[in-house]
Chain A
Amino acid sequence: MTIAVAASVITTTYREALRMALREALQRDPRVFLMGEDVGCYGGSYAVSKGLLEEFGEERIRDTPLSESGFVGAGIGAALNGMRPIVEVMTCNFSLLALDQILNNAATLRHMSGGQFSVPLVIRMATGAGRQLAAQHSHSFEGWYAHIPGIRVVTPATLEDARGMLWTALMDPDPVVMFENVLLYNLEGELAADAGAVDIDRAAVRRLGDDITLVTYGGCLYKTLQAAERLATQNVSAEVIDLRTLRPLDMTTVLGSLAKTHRMVIIDEGWKSGSLAAEIMARVMEQAFYELDAPIERVCSAEVPIPYARHLEQAAIPQVDTIFAAALRTVNHHV
């Protein structure tokens, strides 16, 4: 691995990093276009595509009616026919209106046609709770999508990934679904001025540690890093893994860390039953049972529709406190 020394860094946000990625893709490849509800005149419901309509015009920044199934399906059709569409779905809750197209067409066409047709489509959607948007705008369905063979599921959590995953996803010959946690849009930080495409194959170790492995992705990454900081004050050295891609899972990185720490907590904003966290747990049982010095714990969302009231909403989703407590229990567990 080579470590590039960045010529310069800029201060930016997750939202702006996504916009830079969109702009670059539109500039580099005439086959790329963006479509979705309010991506044009409104500037994107989370302001990601603000200004792009003026820059690239109505053909390539295409406002759609509220027809999720229709325009996601149209994205699949355009991808079948030589374009590289980016379809934005306002929130993952709304994406359920297009789930038929995503599963029965996008994910299926290649295998079902005996490899004759592929669907190079990127679908972006907002996910996650924390803005008091209640039970029809706050859920985390990335784990559900990761259940589906035929699509790739990515969850950029850092500015580098917000900047770099889109291009790689666009160059992928198969459909990629990208989940952007709503709490990350305002995330501010430094980014190399020349930041570009990043891989969408491997998990990343965001913090090195020896005593316990904390596996997470997306919006929970920062809560997990904070929990790790607090664990350090208790002399617990936590390693934090950002999965980055939920399908296919990079178990090599996860198991490599476990081989060092022998203890694990999985933090996942999805509901616990049948969750992505459950899948990781199952794979650890199958592949690395004897590495474990303690049962794995999971910190997931409470099994309720995400409520509106702030204290209830916060109680429903993973928090630094609950991650910290779970990690401490796991570290202190002795057979």
Chain B
Amino acid sequence: MTPSPEFARKLLYEMVRIRRFEEKSAELYSAGKIRGFLHLYIGEEAIATGVMQALRPEDAIFATYREHGHALTRGLSAGAIMAEMYGKLEGCSRGRGGSMHLFDAATKFYGGNAIVCGGLPLAVGYALAQKMQQRAGLAACFFGEGAVAEGEFHESLNLASLWNVPALFLCENNLYAMGTALERSEADTNLVEKAASYHVQGKSVDGMDVLAVLEAAQQATQFVRDGNGPYFLEFRTYRFRAHSMFDAELYRSKAEVERWKQRCPIAGFSARAICEGWLMPEMIDAIETEVAREIAQAVEFAEAGTWEPVETLTSDVYTARVQA
């Protein structure tokens, strides 16, 4: 596909935003501003960026604990996400979720699920409700290839297919479930075939190429929107950083990481966009400047945020009920 200059700029801008946001997050983690687990999306930016362009406001998103990029490009403000990671009341989950549990009702962003595969049944049920209420909009569910080993993956694909619900399964295959390589955990590493065994159509896509992601996502969303039932996309990708900030990366070689870095989705797309004449080189600097400003503001917002008073610790365990 050939993107318009405006659209090419948008794609690059979104990927750069995610990259710089993640880099800043790592820095702030080292500075002790962000605590808990922090899972960075660096290297995988093309997937969230490409898929989100194919989604509509009426679609719902179910994501994993590596979801900063999805939240950002879906439209949660960088400030609300950063404040959440600071644990501040102004965070998108009022500081109760942290990095792994970003939520936003306004953009139908249903988390931030840190139980591997935990979001898939939710997406199936959400999609079932869409169908039963005859509403437009699908349930888009991101998960890593590690989720494929969970029973819930198989239960969910079977249910989605059996009930023919508008669910889009988006598998980000970065080759390692924490430190366990796919071929060390799956007898059959062909994920599209696993989906096919439940009569869920699917496709494997280069997750380092934002245009390939976008094109596949557009076809897949159209398939689902047309009432054909669920669809499965596998994105072949790689995380350039460790699993989390506690990972010594003993399970993969530096050479392998370097090889994949040669396929950086941002560098690759920038080079192509300039070569094809979609973007002028100076526009890239302009994007960087704009993103730097946004992230600086996000950090400022988080720094200026407040702490939830301990007195409200137990609010929203249950919905406040009007006593009769």
Chain A residues within CB distance 8 Å of chain B:
33, 59, 64-65, 67, 69-83, 85, 100-101, 104-105, 109-118, 149-150, 152, 172-174
Contact = CB atoms under 8 A, between A and B. Distances in A.
Interface centre among B124, B130, B155, B321 (most CB of A within 10 A): B155
Contacts, number: 139
B162 A65 contact: yes
Given A65-B162, A83-B129, A77 B123 contact: yes
B24 to A, nearest CB: 23
Contacts of B101: 112-113
A174 B319 contact: yes
A110 B133 CA distance: 23
A114 B60 contact: no
A106 B206 CA distance: 35
Nearest to B125: A77
B291 to A, nearest CB: 27
B305 interface: no
Contact of B104 (A64, A67, A116, A149): A116
A112 B95 CA distance: 9
Given A70-B124, A77-B129, A78-B126, A111 B316 contact: yes
A110 B319 contact: yes
Interface string B304-323: 00000000000111110100
23 contacts: A65-B162, A69-B152, A70-B121, A70-B124, A70-B159, A71-B155, A73-B118, A74-B125, A77-B126, A77-B129, A80-B110, A83-B129, A83-B133, A100-B118, A101-B118, A101-B121, A104-B118, A109-B111, A110-B316, A112-B97, A113-B105, A114-B93, A115-B94
Contacts of B316: 110-111, 114-115
B1 interface: no
B244 to A, nearest CB: 19
Interface in B70-120: 91-97, 101, 103-105, 110-111, 113, 115, 118, 120
B96 to A, nearest CB: 5
B100 to A, nearest CB: 9
A75 B156 CA distance: 12
Main secondary structure of the interface of B (DSSP, over half): mixed
B32 interface: no
Contact of B121 (A33, A74, A112): A74
A233 B170 CA distance: 69
Most buried by B among A110, A111, A112: A112
B128 interface: yes
A190 B128 CA distance: 39
A79 B133 CA distance: 12
B273 interface: no
Contacts of A85: 125
Contacts of A105: 113, 115, 118, 122
Given A65-B159, A65-B162, A78 B317 contact: no
Closest 6 interchain pairs by CB?
A73-B121, A77-B125, A70-B155, A114-B94, A74-B125, A67-B155
A70 B115 CA distance: 14
Contact of B132 (A65, A79, A83): A83
Given A83-B132, A174-B319, A78 B125 contact: yes
A77 B111 CA distance: 12
Contacts of A116: 93, 103-105
Contacts of B122: 73-74, 76-77, 80, 105
Interface of B: 60, 91-97, 101, 103-105, 110-111, 113, 115, 118, 120-130, 132-133, 139, 151-152, 155-156, 158-159, 162, 315-319, 321
B129 A82 contact: yes
Contacts of B130: 81
A64 B159 contact: yes
A81 B104 contact: no
Contacts of A73: 118, 120-122, 124-125, 152, 156
A116 B91 CA distance: 12
Contacts of A118: 319
B132 A115 contact: no
Contacts of B125: 73-81, 85
Nearest to B98: A112
Given A100-B118, A114-B94, A149 B317 contact: yes
A105 B128 CA distance: 18
A101 B96 CA distance: 19
A69 B121 contact: yes
A35 to B, nearest CB: 9
A100 B114 CA distance: 12
A20 B315 CA distance: 35
Nearest to A79: B125
Contacts of A112: 93, 96-97, 101, 103, 111
B155 A33 contact: no
Contacts of A69: 121, 151-152, 155
Given A70-B155, A70-B156, A111-B96, A77 B121 contact: yes
A298 B321 CA distance: 33
B155 A114 contact: no
A33 B127 CA distance: 15
A115 B104 CA distance: 10
Contacts of A149: 317
Contacts of A59: 132
Contacts of B152: 69-70, 73
B121 A104 contact: no
A118 to B, nearest CB: 5
Given A70-B156, A74-B159, A116-B104, A81 B129 contact: yes
A150 B162 CA distance: 31
Nearest to B153: A70
A80 B103 CA distance: 13
A71 B159 contact: yes
